[in-house]
A and B are shown apart, each in its own frame.
Chain A
Amino acid sequence: MRIIASGCLMILVMATPDGAIAKNTGNIFISNEKSSTISVLGPDDEIVETIETCARPRGMHFSHDRTQFYVGCADDSIIAIYDVARRDLVQRIRGVEEPETFDLHPNGKHLYISNEEDAAATLYDVESGEFLDEFETGEEPEGVQVTSDGKLVFVASEAANLVHVIDTEAGEVIEDILVDTRPRRFALNKHETELWVSAELAGMVNIIDLESFELIGDIELLPTGFRKEQVTPVDLLITADGRRAYIALGRANHVAVVDVESRKVEKYILVGSRPWGLALTHDEKKLYVANGLSDDISIIDTDSLKVTKSLPVGLVPYGILIDDH
C-alpha cells in the first residue's frame, strides 16, 4: 500500500474530479486473448481483479496522461477504454475492424491501429471516437510504432514481409520496406535512428536505418539446443538508456537479452511457453513476460537476469501494461 506523504495531498486527491489523479497505482494489466479478460496484478504481483472485457482483447496502450488505457478487442471490433484507477469501462469505440495493436501519436488524440483482417491500418481520434483515415497495407498488419516526434508511423504486414512507413502529415504510406519473413513488432533505439523489427519466421531481428529506410543489420537469435525454425521472435523492447534490448522468442520459450550497440546476444532467459508480450517497469528493474501457451506470466529481475516469479493469469495472455509512473 502506498503511503501518502502529506494530508494536503490527500485532500487534493479527494477533491479533484473522477480520474484526475488516477495513476501510478502500481497495478499491472494483462490482456488474455482467449478468456477475453484482463488480469490485474497489484504492486506485489498478485492478482487483485479479473476484468471481463469484450471478445479477444489483445493490444493495449495507456492514454496520453496515463489515467486511462485502451484495449483492442478483435472479435468485437471495438476499442474499449478503461479508467486506470477505477478499472471500469468508460467508453467504447465501435466499428474498428479487428484491431490488433496500436500506438498513440504524441498529440494524445490520434491512435494508429493495425486492422488484422483488413490489410489496413486506420487512424482514429481516440477522444471523439471518430474514424479519420485508412492506409492500405499488406495482409495481416500487426506492429504499429509512432516516432516520438509524431512524424512517422511504422506498420508491419506479417503476410507481406513489409514494413510500411506512414508520413503522418502527408497522411499516406511513403515507403514499403521489405524485411525478413513475418515481421511482427517494433522497437526504436534511443535517438530514433534505428528501427528494430522482429521477423518471426526468420528467427531474427532486422535493423532499419531511419534515414535511408534500408536494412543495415540483423540479429540472429538461437538459444542452445534449438533449430533456427523453432525460434519465433515477437515482442521487443529497448531500455530508455538505449543500451539493452529484450526480445521474446515465441516458440523457443526464452527471452533474449541483447546489447544494442554491439548487437550481440548477452543471455537467453528461460521463461514459459510461447512468450510474446513484454513490458518493463519504469525503473526497468523488472521485465514482465506474457507466455501465451502456458497461460502465465514470468517476472524477470533485470539485474540478475533471472525469473523471480511465474504467475498464472487468464487464457493466452497477450499484452502487458504497467501503471507505475
Chain B
Amino acid sequence: MITSGMTTSLGFGRPSKNVSLYRRVCGFLSAGVLCLLIALPAAEAQAKKKKERTPFAFTYVSRADDPYYETRRAYTGLTLREKKRPIDGVHAGLREVRVLGRRVGLAFDLDAVELGEGETAIDAVESAIADGHAVFVLDLPLDEMTALAEATVNRDILLFDVRHPDTELRRTFCPGHLFYMRPSRAMVADALAQYLREKGWRNVLMLNGPEEADARDADAFRSAAEKFGLTIVAEQDFILSNDPRNRDRNNIALMTGEPDHDVIFLTDNLGEFGRYVPFATYLARPVVGSEGLIASGWHWTWERHGAPQLNQRFYRKAERNMVATDWAAWAAVKSVVEAISRTEATKPADLRTFLTSDAFILDTYKGAPGSFRRWNRQLRQPILLHTHNAVIERAPLPQFLHATNQLDTLGLDQPDSDCR
C-alpha cells in the first residue's frame, strides 16, 4: 500500500497574514472569546477565498529508510555530516508563492509521498498522475530516480531532481522531462578551479578519500584542473587509521610534505579524516574541497542579492540553516510557478517549453539569473565558495568569459555533453 505522507495544503488551517492584524488587536484585549469571534469570520473568509482557486499539486517523492539519510556516527559518536531532506525547501518555496497563487487563481499544494519497503517510485508516480498531479520533486536513490525517469519519459509530467550531483547524468542521461536543480560535481569543481586559478594557487596537492563519492569528486577536480590550467603535483590517498605501518596514507604531515604545492584539494565525504587536515599539513597551505574553502549551491551566510531574506524565511520555519539541497528544492517550486505565471498554462508540456526557452528567468538570489541548459536541463546558477561561516567568493569569477552565457563556464557546456 502506498502511504501518502502528510498533505499540507497551503492556506487551510494556517494563520494568514490578514489574521495578524487581529492578533495585534487581540494583544490588547483580554477576552479570548472576542478574539475567537473575530477569527472565525476571518478564517471562513480565507477558506472561501481558497475554494475559488484551482488546486495545483507538487508531489514530493522520497523513500523512507533511505540509507543516504542515515546519520553516520564518527568515532565517539560524533555527527559530522548530517543530510537533511530537501522537502523543507519545497515548503519554503510554496509559502512564497501563495500570493502569486492568488493572482493566477491556483492554490498550490504539496503531496508528500514516502515509499515503504516493496513500493516503487514508478507506482507512486503513476498513482499521482491518476490524481491529476503532474509535477514531481524527486528525493530518490540514483537507480530509482533514473528508472523512474526512463519509465515516464513519454508522460506529460515534469520531474525535478534535487539530490544527485553526478556529472555523468548531465553528460548522458537527459530525458526531456527531467530537470537537474543541484549543481553537478563538474560545476562545483570548476567553481573551485576558477578561484584557485584567479588566486594564482596553481600547484595542487590532492588528498583523496576512500569513498565512491570521493573518487567522483576527485575525477571532477582533475577535469576542472585541466580545463582551467592548474597543475596537480601529487595525489595521496588517505585512510582513517593510526597504524604507523600505514603512515604514508594516514600521516598528514608526511603526505603533505613534498612536492611543494600552493593548495591542498581534499575529498572527504564522510568527514572524519579530513577535518584534521587544515593546520596539520607540513607546509602552511590552505585546504579546499571538503574542508576549508567549500564550493556549494547555497550558503546560509550569503549577504547579497536578497539572500539574507531567503535565508531568514527558511530559518524561521525550518529552524535550521538552508543548505544547497534545500535551495535546489526551493528553486524547483519557484521555477514551475514562474513558468505558470508567465504562460498562464498548467499543462506540463507548455511549462516545459517555457522553462527551456530564453524567456525563462529564475531569481537565484545568487546574483545571476538562472535558466535551464537546453541540452541537458541543468539549472544554470552561480556557485558560492564558502568557509563554515562566510562566503569568500562567488563563481563564475568575472575573468572567465563565455561566448553566450558566463554561467556556462561552469560544468558541462553544450559540446561537453552527449545530450542534445
Contact = CB atoms under 8 A, between A and B. Distances in A.
B199 interface: no
Interface string A212-245: 0000000000000001010000000000000000
13 contacts: A116-B309, A117-B312, A119-B17, A134-B21, A138-B96, A139-B99, A139-B309, A159-B309, A160-B96, A160-B97, A160-B100, A181-B361, A229-B369
Given A117-B313, A202-B361, A136 B369 contact: no
- Determine the interface band of chain A, counting residues with CB < 8 A from chain B: 20 to 34
Contacts of B16: 136
B363 A136 contact: no
A227 B369 CA distance: 12
Interface in B6-65: 16-18, 20-21, 24
A280 interface: no
Contact of B100 (A140, A162, A182, A229): A162
Contact of B363 (A118, A137, A201): A201
B341 interface: yes
Interface string A155-191: 0011111100000000000001010011000000000
A120 B23 CA distance: 15
A308 B409 CA distance: 39
Given A162-B99, A178-B341, A229 B309 contact: no
A183 B100 CA distance: 14
Given A181-B363, A201-B361, A176 B313 contact: no
Given A117-B309, A140-B306, A181-B361, A157 B20 contact: no
A117 B308 CA distance: 9
Interface of A: 116-120, 131, 133-134, 136-140, 157-162, 176, 178, 181-182, 201-202, 227, 229
A133 B21 contact: yes
A74 to B, nearest CB: 10
Contacts of B96: 138-139, 159-160
B368 interface: yes
B99 A137 contact: yes
A147 B97 CA distance: 28
B338 to A, nearest CB: 8
B103 A162 contact: yes
Contacts of A161: 100, 338, 341
A202 B359 CA distance: 10
A23 B186 CA distance: 60
A134 B361 contact: no
A134 B20 contact: yes
A216 B394 CA distance: 37
Interface residues of B, number: 24
Nearest to B406: A227
B320 interface: no
Contacts of B363: 158-159, 181-182, 201
Interface string B356-399: 00000101000011000000000000000000000000000000
A87 to B, nearest CB: 30
B102 interface: yes
A181 to B, nearest CB: 5
Interface of B: 16-18, 20-21, 24, 96-97, 99-100, 102-103, 306, 309, 312-313, 338, 341-342, 361, 363, 368-369, 406
B369 A138 contact: no
B99 A181 contact: no
Nearest to A200: B363
A66 B16 CA distance: 37
B313 A157 contact: no
Which one of A116, A117, A120, A229 has the greatest number of beta carbons of chain B within 10 Å?
Answer: A229
Given A118-B17, A120-B20, A131-B24, 11 more contacts: A117-B313, A119-B17, A138-B96, A138-B100, A158-B363, A160-B99, A160-B103, A176-B99, A176-B102, A181-B363, A229-B369
Contacts of B17: 118-120, 134, 136
A159 B364 CA distance: 10
Contacts of A201: 361, 363, 369
Nearest to A97: B20
A202 B24 CA distance: 38
Contacts of A116: 309
Given A134-B20, A201-B363, A139 B103 contact: no
Contacts of A134: 17-18, 20-21
Contacts of A140: 306, 309
B358 to A, nearest CB: 10
Nearest to B18: A136
Nearest to A228: B369
A158 B361 contact: no
A159 B312 contact: no
A139 B314 CA distance: 12
Contacts of A176: 99, 102-103
Given A117-B312, A139-B313, A157 B99 contact: yes
**Interface-central residue, B17, B24, B97, by most chain A CB under 10 Å:** B17
A55 to B, nearest CB: 13
B309 A178 contact: no
A181 B359 CA distance: 11
A161 B361 CA distance: 11
B306 A159 contact: yes
Nearest to A164: B99
A140 B342 CA distance: 20
A161 B362 CA distance: 11
A76 to B, nearest CB: 15
Contacts of B338: 161
B309 to A, nearest CB: 5
Among A133, A138, A159: residue with most chain B CB under 10 A: A159
A211 B417 CA distance: 50
A181 B103 CA distance: 15
Contacts of A229: 368-369
